[in-house]
A = this chain, B = another copy of it.
Amino acid sequence: MSRETRADARLRITNEIMEAARRQLGEVGAAGLSLREIAREIGMVSSAVYRYVDSRDDLLTRLIIDAYDALGDVAERAASAPADTDLGRWTATASAIRRWAIAHPHEYQLLYGSPVPGYAAPDDTVGPGIRVVVALARIVGEAARHERLAAPGEPLGDLTPQLADDLRALADAVPDPFPADATTVLAFVVGWSQLFGLLSFELTNQTRGYVGDDADLFDAAARRVGHQIGLR
């Protein structure tokens, strides 16, 4: 059995550090993340961690990027899986996002919960951060390009002109821009935030006891949102 090469060891131990960090995230939250505790968990002296990580902030940044990428993978994979209908594709993607969040609640909180005191996310996190919303937008865009997008049900008719302009600009800003009127984009933005809002509610137990099966509630909400965007 050949001895482990240095590069391999470096990879392995970096992974151990990240795993210990994620474990700790689950126990004390991002604000309580401690390099010394991580070192202890993997049986190293605290200063040794600095061979693998520049600083505590650097570690946080890596955790965030990894989490965004994991969630982005999940969303993109679900969004490009075969589906009978656009609405089915949408709800499947939403469900996949939810499942990841439920399986990784603390990483989800790291991304979408309260900001960590004293930490400012660097720009490297932006790219991975938008993958999930881009994956959702792509579903709508594709439906729109194939002219399968239903007209918005109730326009409500009183978007301010400024807001309507902003929303149309938003639809053009994503990769695969989709031709849609402002009300549709509003439904998308609002629906997008709704799904994340519902998830946050579920994760922080705000609906505790009200509803037996949160997954059913979420799926029903996702279907409703997709329908209102015009997906069928």
Contacts and interface: CB of A to CB of B under 8 A. Distances in A.
Contact of A31 (B117, B163, B198): B117
A173 B209 CA distance: 11
A170 interface: yes
**Max chain B Cβ within 10 angstroms of own Cβ: one of A109, A196, A211:** A211
Interface residues of A, number: 52
Contact of A190 (B112, B115, B224): B224
Copies of this chain in its oligomeric complex: 2
A206 interface: yes
A159 B218 CA distance: 11
Interface in A169-214: 170, 173, 186-187, 189-190, 193-198, 200-201, 204, 206-207, 210-213
Given A112-B206, A189-B211, A193-B201, 15 more contacts: A32-B117, A113-B114, A153-B153, A156-B220, A159-B220, A163-B220, A166-B210, A167-B211, A173-B210, A189-B207, A193-B194, A196-B197, A196-B200, A196-B206, A197-B201
